[in-house]
């Protein structure tokens, strides 16, 4: 396929159309080589990227949707360790044991399985594309560290507030007080945050009652008070205790 044909093929893919993402930084020749030797895949909720496929296609780029890294315990309990969204690159090359979890779609997901040799060649010679990859992997590492801290130390309301900011920071064109897309179902959100689904719903209602956000739809919300939500996400116990005392005084 020629360069013009490849660009037509890739024009609706976020990885190429978004100037901040990987494929937008490729030369015409690099894009042609990568596109011709890579494979796209559309997944539906519950579909899994099998380990055998990852042996041959260990570099996965997310065009749209949410792909989760899930672990299943022997007693049947499930945990979601990480969420990969639009623009993320999952690089599993040179990992001897890929059985560290399963990559499972949480809805409709479009991915591109990048040809490893072409990807490696681009990384060696294209500094712009290399910078995008390193920034993405760095962001993944920071999110993993933040998430582990949230799970270990924060209470339910604080975990949810942190997740709202995670979604807000990862979506395109966010602004103060703007709408925030919640790209996963609440049952999946509960697994990711180590909570029960009922607790997630209760926390959303609590934040609504405080006038901090509105949740007219399950998959979107609007932040009404960014500083207050930030204080909750950061574990400001004094603020929560103060609000509790005010409620008690009003009741009295």
Domain ranges of the chain: 3-148, 154-251
CA separation for the pair 3, 236 (Å, rounded): 54
3-148 and 154-251: same fold? no
pLDDT in tens, 178-229: 789 999 999 999 999 999 999 999 999 999 999 999 998 888 999 999 999 9
The token pair at 184 is 């996963």
The token pair at 122 is 């681009």
Three-class DSSP category at 242: helix
Predicted TM-score (pTM) of this structure = 0.86
What are residue 78's DSSP bridge partners? 72
| pLDDT band at 19; cut points 50, 70, 90 | confident
Find the helix or strand (DSSP H, E) in which 43 lies.
Answer: strand 39-43
The token pair at 141 is 């590492």
CB count in 10 Å sphere of residue 3: 13
Please, how many CA atoms are within 13 Å of residue 207, restricted to the half-sphere of its CB?
30
Q: Does domain 3-148 have CATH number 2.60.120.200?
A: no
Q: What percent of the chain has pLDDT over 70?
A: 86
Query: 154-251: which CATH topology?
Result: Arc Repressor Mutant, subunit A (1.10.10)
pLDDT in tens, 121-150: 999 999 999 999 999 999 999 999 999 999
36 pLDDT above the threshold of 60? yes
Please report the pLDDT score of residue 65 as a whole number. Answer: 95
């Amino acid at each position: 396929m020629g360069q013009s044909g490849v660009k037509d093929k890739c024009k609706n893919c976020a990885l190429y159309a978004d100037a901040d993402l990987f494929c937008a930084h490729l030369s015409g020749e690099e894009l042609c080589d990568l596109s011709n030797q890579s494979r796209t895949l559309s997944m539906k909720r519950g579909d899994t990227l099998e380990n055998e496929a990852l042996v041959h296609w260990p570099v996965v780029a997310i065009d749209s949707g949410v792909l989760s890294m899930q672990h299943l315990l022997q007693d049947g309990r499930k945990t979601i360790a990480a969420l990969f969204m639009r623009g993320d690159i999952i690089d599993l090359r040179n990992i001897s044991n890929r059985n560290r979890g399963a990559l499972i779609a949480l809805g409709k997901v479009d991915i591109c399985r990048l040809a490893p040799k072409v990807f490696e060649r681009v990384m060696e010679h294209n500094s712009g594309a290399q910078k995008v990859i390193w920034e993405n992997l760095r962001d993944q590492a920071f999110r993993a560290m933040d998430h582990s801290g949230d799970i270990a130390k924060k209470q339910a309301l604080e975990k949810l507030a942190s997740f709202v900011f995670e979604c807000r920071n990862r979506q395109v064109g966010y602004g103060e007080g703007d709408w925030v897309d919640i790209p996963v179902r609440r049952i999946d959100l509960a697994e990711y945050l180590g909570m029960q689904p009922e607790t997630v719903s209760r926390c959303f209602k609590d934040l609504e009652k405080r006038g901090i956000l509105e949740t007219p739809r399950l998959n979107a919300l609007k932040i009404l008070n960014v500083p207050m939500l930030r204080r909750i996400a950061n574990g400001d116990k004094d603020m929560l205790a103060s609000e509790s005392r005010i409620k008690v005084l009003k009741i009295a």
